Amino acid sequence: MTSKRIILRRLAFSGPTVPTAEIQLIDGPNVIFGASNTGKSFTIKALNYMFGGSSLLPEIEQREGYEGIWLGLTLPGGIDVTLYRSLAGGGFNVFEGLEAPAGERETVVELAPKYHAGHPENISTYLLHPIGLDGKILVRNENGEKATFTIRTLAPFLFVDEGNIISEGSPFLSGQRDSATLEKNALRLLLTGADDSSVVPVLPPKIRKAQQAGQLALVEEMIANIDKELGEGGPDRQQLHDQLSRIEMSLQSLQTDLIARQDRIDQLTVARRTGLDELNLAKSKRREGLVTIARFEELERVYGSDIERLQGLEEGGGLFAVRAGRACPLCGASAEAHTMTYDSSQIAEVRNATLREIAKIQSERDDLRYTLASVRAELDINEQEILRILAKIDEAENSLSQARPDEAASRKLYEERGDVRDSLRITLELFRQRDKLQVRFSQLSASIPRGRGDDKLSVGIDGPTGHALAAKVQEVLSAWQFPNSPTVSFNDETQDIRLNGKPRAANGKGVRAILHAASKVAALLLCQEKDLPHPGFVVLDTPLLTYREPLKNPKHGELADDEAALKATSLHEAFYQHLISLKDQAQIVVLENADPPLSLREEMNIITFTGGGENDRFGLFPAQIPS
């Protein structure tokens, strides 16, 4: 899977009062070599730190004034980014491009330094997702408990410091017993692509027995609590069932009676409500009738007044007719002395009109009196209707006053017997719970079968995968012209390679370093060959330790016999030639004390830390200039 690679491009250190210290890396072989104490080992520690390492970098004198680290990367798809992290620890800022930001630049994303399943904005997910390794699950112990594959699980496959490269332990194991299962399964994940998400965790017999003992005690306590609640001796279960059956039959009968009584109350309530509505309507009609009679009586009085007025007019006209031609009764003047504006015919006409109006009003008064009598008759009928309705309402209320106490008594009896039924059900439920607990107690009392050897989980790589890895290591050693063309095999128990059946740990430091480096490079190449995820780079600190000069590197002592024999070969040059052949396929960063071959330097990115000299690079950090 060469297309999904992470390429290291630029490592830089910055601070407000110091010049930027940086190294540029290429996609291919990179060699950083030079004197001791110039920053080579610090470089690999810094790279590891920028891949989520939790350990702070050493407080060496040369880093004084520097506050932050910048790591330029090319992610799959050709995406260039730069990670920034403070030397004091904490999270990461991600910027676009490969240049360290000058001044203020917008952060693309902020990343937490540790993996968290619920928060994908962390350095592990950010780096593993593009290469297809995020979310992978590994079994971490023999009980099948699981852990997530993180960038820190992958880091030992990428960064090999000087201490680990010469270690007698497996190149793929840290030597920590608690993490051995996880590390073996991490190797299997890389070389096969298979994780442990399908594994179902199991409890070891000791823990299961402890849990069983606790469950037995809990169940036994629950049974004792039920027995206590049932009382000494306890009720007879069959009698409780019979009593419950009788109570339920009685409740059914009471419920039927109660429903009938409630229906009767509902009917009487409706009848009373209907009667009250009818009473209101009848009273309203009575009020309307009384108002109508009062108006008609007033109209009758008006008719009488009109008739009396008209009769006065008629009588006055008669007097005028009788006194016609006679002397005035007031002044005594003769009739001839009066001036008349009307004659007797006119008076007679007025009298006749008055008589006709009187007759008309008397006719209308007669009609009014007939209507008034009819309204009074209706009012009498209305009064009788009101009396009937009142009697109906009284009857409904009397019936309600009798029905309600009966219904209340039936309801109370129903509730009392319902309480008895519920109590019986609770008691019977206690019996059922006790039966279930007794069954559970019997099940838990059964002994746990002893585990067999074939019950153990499969850990680490299988035989065929181990053989493929050993073959790839042998291929790498052959390319490096390792002497005597040894047969390489893989030891499942130690998770390490053997040379001609001889453990890697049985060799000297320099040979162990070469074999460790070959194992890590072989793992990378095997992943690519199988199209499996791998970042595609390895950083190796002092893989060619066997070519050291004991006087210049006294901490590793004199060369062992096998180291001396190896130093006499051309492996040094073949090693670099092989790395050059992997250009554009794998990025290898080598930190060495010995000079690389002069004939090959043009084909590699060479960074030299001289440790002195005016025009040469002192080390990772500039030389401190005395003030």
- Note the pLDDT tens digit of each residue in 185-208: 999 999 999 998 888 776 666 767
pLDDT at 626 over 50: no
pLDDT band at 145 (very low <50, low <70, confident <90, very high): confident
CA triple 8-14-19, angle to 5 deg: 115
| Residue 126: strand, helix, or coil | helix
Contact indicator for 472, 525 with CB cutoff of 8 Å: yes
pLDDT band at 117 (very low <50, low <70, confident <90, very high): confident
Query: Who contacts 321 (Cβ-Cβ below 8 Å, separation ≥6)?
Result: 344, 347, 348, 351
Predicted TM-score of the model (pTM): 0.63
Higher pLDDT among residues 553 and 440, named by residue = 440
pLDDT band at 475 (very low <50, low <70, confident <90, very high): very high
Would you state the structure tokens that stand for residue 4, as one six-digit string?
A: 């999904």
pLDDT band at 86 (very low <50, low <70, confident <90, very high): very high
Q: Which domains does the chain have, with CATH numbers?
A: 7-199+457-609 (3.40.50.300), 237-431 (1.10.287)
What is the predicted pLDDT for the residue at 343?
A: 62
Q: How far apart are CA 195 and CA 187, in angstroms?
A: 10
Contact indicator for 199, 139 with CB cutoff of 8 Å: yes
What is the predicted pLDDT for the residue at 452?
A: 43
Contact indicator for 82, 10 with CB cutoff of 8 Å: yes
pLDDT band at 456 (very low <50, low <70, confident <90, very high): low
Q: Give the residue from 473, 593, 461 showing the smallest Cα distance to 540.
A: 593
Would you state the structure tokens that stand for residue 390, as one six-digit string?
A: 């009142």
What is the predicted pLDDT for the residue at 104?
A: 62
Amino acid code (one letter) for 137: I
Q: Which of 216-230, 396-410, 551-565, 603-617 has the lowest mean pLDDT?
A: 551-565
In the beta sheet, which residues pair with residue 29? 588
Burial of residue 488 (number of CB atoms within 10 Å: 0-12, 13-18, 19+): buried
pLDDT band at 500 (very low <50, low <70, confident <90, very high): very high
CA triple 604-608-611, angle to 5 deg: 170
Contact indicator for 512, 504 with CB cutoff of 8 Å: yes
- When mean pLDDT is compared over 299-308, 377-386, 544-553, the highest value belongs to 377-386
Q: Which of 231-240, 343-352, 478-487 has the lowest mean pLDDT?
A: 343-352
What is the predicted pLDDT for the residue at 134?
A: 93
What is the predicted pLDDT for the residue at 424?
A: 87
Would you state the structure tokens that stand for residue 62, as one six-digit string?
A: 């040369």
What is the predicted pLDDT for the residue at 161?
A: 93
Residues in the chain, total: 627
pLDDT at 164 over 90: yes
Amino acid code (one letter) for 522: A
Q: Give the residue from 18, 156, 24 showing the smallest Cα distance to 621.
A: 18
Cα–chain center distance at 200: 24
Would you state the structure tokens that stand for residue 507, as one six-digit string?
A: 């060799």
What is the predicted pLDDT for the residue at 615?
A: 52
Q: How far apart are CA 375 and CA 394, in angstroms?
A: 28
**What confidence tens digit (pLDDT) does each residue in 488-498 have?**
999 988 899 99
